Structure 1
Amino acid sequence: MIYLLVVVHVIVCLFLIGVVLLQQGKSADLAGAFGGQGSQTAFGPRGAASILTKMTAWAAVLFMVVSIGLTILLSRANNNDHSVLSGAQTTQSAPKK
């Protein structure tokens, strides 16, 4: 089950990278860098969501769900180590005089 989720996670990661890189920037010019977007809305002009925007949102949600699922499965698989410091070596202190 863990291996299947890892494969799904890698596929979703690659898909998310590709979809984000295919999108066009909203304010890619120099005026957009300084806030001159030419609209009175708080976050700039908002058009209809394209298919790339919807695919990005669904891929991001799937990425988060698979990440949480992997975390839960891996914590259950390694249930004998409950501490971060469980494998650390202890040091001896110098004898008191």
Structure 2
Amino acid sequence: MLYWLLVTLYVVVCLLLLLAVLLQQGKGGDIASAFGGGGGQAAFGARQGATVLTKASAILGGLFMLGALGLAIVGTRGPSSVMSGVPGAAPAPVVPATKAPSAPAAPTATTSPAPATGTATSQPAGAAPAPATLAPAPAAPATAPEPKKQ
């Protein structure tokens, strides 16, 4: 609620600043002064007294900057994602990385264990285990073709 109130006030300040800047009279920095035609004026135009529009644009410019800063601060405390309110769109939980186990993985159902030969083989520490062999696929049973019915 507070966020939308600040956004509304910020838009009003932006519109007022736009009007204040556009209603001001130019400072005499036209093309003639660029070629030496405005010799009696200062570097940035003739010095004028501060009018109501000049003061208003300075105040509204300050409110514009403060409003942008305030909306940035309030906006970061809101939802962290555009999709945070959508059910089922929650991001996957972050799992911290763990150290890989030193033991080899257990064989899966598609691999068969190495045949036992009765002799023990030793491997140096840190060596990879021998590759598992794939079990042969079972042969399909032979079936006799069915006789045709007449």
Superposition TM-score, scaled by structure 2 size:
0.47
Q: Report sequence identity in percent.
A: 48
**Corresponding residue for residue 4 of structure 2:** 3
Alignment: residue pair count: 81
Query: 1:4-23 counterparts in 2 under 5 A?
Result: 4-23=5-24
Alignment deviations for residues 65-85 of structure 1 (CA, whole Å, 9 cap, x no partner): 0110000000122458xxxxx
Alignment deviations for residues 28-83 of structure 1 (CA, whole Å, 9 cap, x no partner): 54313446432464433211111100000000000100110000000122458xxx
> Do the aligned residues in 2 keep the contact of 1:27 with 1:33 (CA within 8 Å)?
no
Of Structure 1 and Structure 2, the greater helix share is in: 1
**Corresponding residue for residue 24 of structure 1:** 25
**Corresponding residue for residue 75 of structure 2:** 74
**Change beyond 3 A, Cα 1:13–1:35:** farther
SS in 2 for 1:64: helix
What amino acid sits opposite 1:24 in the alignment? Answer: Q
SS in 2 for 1:54: helix
Considering Cα pairs closer than 8 Å and 6+ residues apart, tell me whether 1 or 2 has the greater RCO. 1
Moved over 6 A (4+): none
Q: RMSD of the alignment, in Å?
A: 2.3
Structure 1: tracts of 5 or more residues without a match: 81-86, 88-97
Structure 2: tracts of 5 or more residues without a match: 82-90, 92-150
Query: 1:24-43 counterparts in 2 under 5 A?
Result: 24-27=25-28, 29-34=30-35, 36-39=37-40, 41-43=42-44
